[in-house]
Every structure is written in structure tokens, then in C-alpha cells.
Amino acid sequence: MVARSTSAAVPRAGWQRWLLHPLAKPAVFLVCLLPFASLVVGIFTDTLGANPAEALVRATGEWTLRMLCLVLLVTPLRAWTGWPAWLRFRRMVGLFVYFYVVLHALCYAWFDMGFELADILRDIAKRPFILVGTAALLLLTPLALTSFNRAIRALGARRWQRLHRLVYAVAALALLHFFWMRAGKNNQAEVAVYGLVIGALLGWRLWHAWRRRQAARD
């Protein structure tokens, strides 16, 4: 029994060493930046299709959702694998969520609204999917601004954790934004995929919180 458990621990430790490698963070950073680089190349090579503005708005929004799914996946990965090293990447990926949502908002404000503030405010009030998208951006802003060690120390760990639970509301708003946007085009296949992924990740958190409360009672 001892020999078997020891041999099983070796590959686990070996895999975790990859996550702790000094080049792991730069590699994750470059991977997260690749979609942006691809869009920039597409602009200069004119390969974004017949409507480049729409392609940019759509792509930046979809990459925001994908990065959000990755952020929500970090904690379950840590629990499933028993490797705390996954947490090294959560802050970086979270900031990329904000990076892509700001790009998404800028593309909308520029290409759709021409940076006319009055028109943007009227559009937010008139169209529900723009309203919930704006709400998600506003909720993400304090999370991005407090994603640093100094902010954690200033707020205190408990208050910081409470604040960053807003990411769950952001995920729900982002999914609703995507659903309403696609509803007009009668194309909900991708919405269903994101809904299943985000629902599973948030459902895991609820189940995990319930188990902890049960364990505390026992």
C-alpha cells in the first residue's frame, strides 16, 4: 500500500512542478493575449470578414465570456487536483477578463455609437442587453482595481473575498447579455454551451459551500 501511494504521488508532484515553473506565468499571459493579437493581425490584413466592426465587437465579447469561464474554473481545478498552484494564474486571467470586456465596450462605443455619450446613454436605457452588459462592466471594475496585494491588505481578506464574489453576478449578467444579444438573431446554440459551462461551475460552488456548512454543523 505504501509503495502504491508513493508512486501515485510522483506524477502528481511532477505535473504540479510545471505549474510552478518560472515560465508558466509568462506562457499563460501570452496564451491569453493571443486572441487580441489575432484580432490586431486581422485588422491589418483585412481578414475579419465583410463587417470588421461587427466581428471585433462579437469577438471581444466572446473572449470575455471565455476568460470568465477560465477564472471560474480555477478553484474547481484546485479542489479536483489538490494543486494550490492553479491559484497562481487566477488573478492574471481575471485581469484579462477585464481587458477583453473593456475592449468589447470600446468597440461598441466606437463602431456602433461613434463615441457619442448621449447616444450611448440612450441606448443603455432603451436596450436591456446593453444595460446588463454595462452592469457587468461596472461590477467588474472594482474587482480589477482590487486585484493587487496592496488592495487585499487595505480591505482585509474577508472583505476582499466578499467583494470578489461579485464575479458570480458578473457571470450571470454576461450570460444574460449574450442570450439577449443572440435572441434577435435566433441563434442560441453557443448561448446554451456557455450556459451549461457557467451553470456547472457556479453549481459546483453552491454544492461545495453546502458541503462545508454541513461539515461545520457535524
The model's pTM: 0.90
- C-beta of residue 42 within 8 angstroms of C-beta of residue 65: no
Of 8 and 167, the one with more pLDDT: 167
Check residues 43 and 7 and name the one with the higher pLDDT.
43
DSSP state letters, 42-103: HHHHT-S-S-HHHHHHHHHHHHHHHHHHHHHHHHHHHHHH--GGGGGGHHHHHHHHHHHHHH
Dump the DSSP string for 115-183: T-HHHHHHHHHH-HHHHHHHHHHHHHHHHHHT-SHHHHHHH-HHHHHHHHTHHHHHHHHHHHHHHHHHH
Render pLDDT for 71-115 as a digit per residue (tens, 0 to 9): 999 999 999 988 899 999 999 999 999 999 999 999 999 999 999
Q: What is the average pLDDT across 135-144?
A: 97
d(CA 150, CA 154): 6
Average pLDDT, the chain: 90
- Segments making up each domain of the chain, as ranges: 25-217
